[in-house]
Chain A
Amino acid sequence: MLEIMKQRAKELLESGRVVRVLGWQRGDFPNLREPVFFTTAKQLDNLEYDRFCAANLSKYLIGTDVPTLAFLKPCDTYSLNQLVKERQINRQMTYIIGIGCEGSAKLTDMEENGTLERCLVCTKTVHAAFDELIGEDAAPREKNDRFAGVGEIEAMEIAARYTFWQDHLARCIRCNACRNICPVCHCKKCVFDNTKYDTAQRANASAFEEQMFHIIRAYHVAGRCTDCGECNRACPQAIPLHLLNRKLISDINHMFGEYQAGTDTETPGPLTNFDIEMDKEVGL
Chain B
Amino acid sequence: MQITDFNPNIVAFCCNWCSYAGADLAGTSRLQYPVQVRIIKVPCSCRVDPLFILRAFQRGADGVAVCGCHPGDCHYATGNYYTRRRMALLHNMLDFMGIERDRMLLQWVSAAEGAKFAKTMTDFVENIHMLGKNTRLADWRVVNAGNNETES
Assess whether A191 is in contact with B98, with CB atoms less than 8 Å apart: no
Assess whether A274 is in contact with B58, with CB atoms less than 8 Å apart: no
Assess whether B140 is in contact with A206, with CB atoms less than 8 Å apart: yes
Q: Known: A271-B86, A274-B82. Is A158-B100 also a contact (CB below 8 A)?
A: yes
Give the residue of B51, B55, B92, B97 whose beta carbon is less than 8 angstroms from that of A162. B97
B27 to chain A, nearest CB (A): 29
- Mark contacts of A249-281 with chain B using CB atoms, 8 A cut-off: 1 yes-contact digit, 0 otherwise: 001100110000000000000111010100100
Binds A, one of B1-9, B34-42, B117-125, B131-139: B131-139
B contact residues vs A (CB 8 Å cutoff): 50-51, 54-55, 57-58, 71, 78, 81-82, 84-86, 88-90, 92-100, 136-141
Beyond A216-B54, A248-B93, 17 additional contacts (C-beta under 8 Å) are: A158-B98, A161-B97, A162-B97, A162-B99, A191-B51, A207-B140, A208-B58, A208-B137, A208-B138, A215-B97, A244-B96, A247-B96, A248-B89, A255-B85, A255-B88, A270-B85, A282-B88
For the complex, what is the distance from the CA of A150 to the CA of B95, rounded to whole Å?
Answer: 12
A41 to chain B, nearest CB (A): 49
Q: Which residues, 138 to 195 on A, are CB-close (under 8 Å) to B?
A: 150, 153-154, 158-166, 191
Give the residue of B54, B90, B95, B96 whose beta carbon is less than 8 angstroms from that of A212. B54
Give the residue of A158, A197, A251 whose beta carbon is less than 8 angstroms from that of B89. A251
CB neighbours (8 Å) of B94 from chain A are: 215
A9 to chain B, nearest CB (A): 42
CB neighbours (8 Å) of B92 from chain A are: 247, 251
6 nearest A-B pairs in the assembled complex, by CB-CB distance = A162-B98, A161-B98, A274-B81, A208-B139, A284-B84, A206-B139
A249 to chain B, nearest CB (A): 10
Write the chain B residue with the least CB distance to A251. B92
Is A222 part of the contact surface with B, judged by Cβ < 8 Å?
yes
Write the chain A residue with the least CB distance to B141. A206
Write the chain B residue with the least CB distance to A284. B84
A250 to chain B, nearest CB (A): 9
Q: Known: A208-B138, A216-B51. Is A271-B97 also a contact (CB below 8 A)?
A: no
CB neighbours (8 Å) of B95 from chain A are: 158, 161
Assess whether B85 is in contact with A279, with CB atoms less than 8 Å apart: yes
Q: Known: A208-B139, A284-B85. Is A219-B98 also a contact (CB below 8 A)?
A: no
Q: Known: A211-B137, A248-B89. Is A219-B50 also a contact (CB below 8 A)?
A: yes
Assess whether A215 is in contact with B82, with CB atoms less than 8 Å apart: no
Write the chain B residue with the least CB distance to A270. B85
Write the chain A residue with the least CB distance to B82. A274
Assess whether B139 is in contact with A256, with CB atoms less than 8 Å apart: no
For the complex, what is the distance from the CA of A150 to the CA of B54, rounded to whole Å?
Answer: 22
- Mark contacts of A219-262 with chain B using CB atoms, 8 A cut-off: 1 yes-contact digit, 0 otherwise: 10010000000000000000000001001100110011000000
Assess whether A209 is in contact with B50, with CB atoms less than 8 Å apart: no
B82 to chain A, nearest CB (A): 6
Give the residue of A153, A161, A216 whose beta carbon is less than 8 angstroms from that of B50. A216
Assess whether B98 is in contact with A160, with CB atoms less than 8 Å apart: yes
Write the chain B residue with the least CB distance to A161. B98
Assess whether A162 is in contact with B136, with CB atoms less than 8 Å apart: yes
Is A47 part of the contact surface with B, judged by Cβ < 8 Å?
no
For the complex, what is the distance from the CA of A112 to the CA of B55, rounded to whole Å?
Answer: 46
CB neighbours (8 Å) of B138 from chain A are: 208
B138 to chain A, nearest CB (A): 7
B89 to chain A, nearest CB (A): 6
B147 to chain A, nearest CB (A): 17
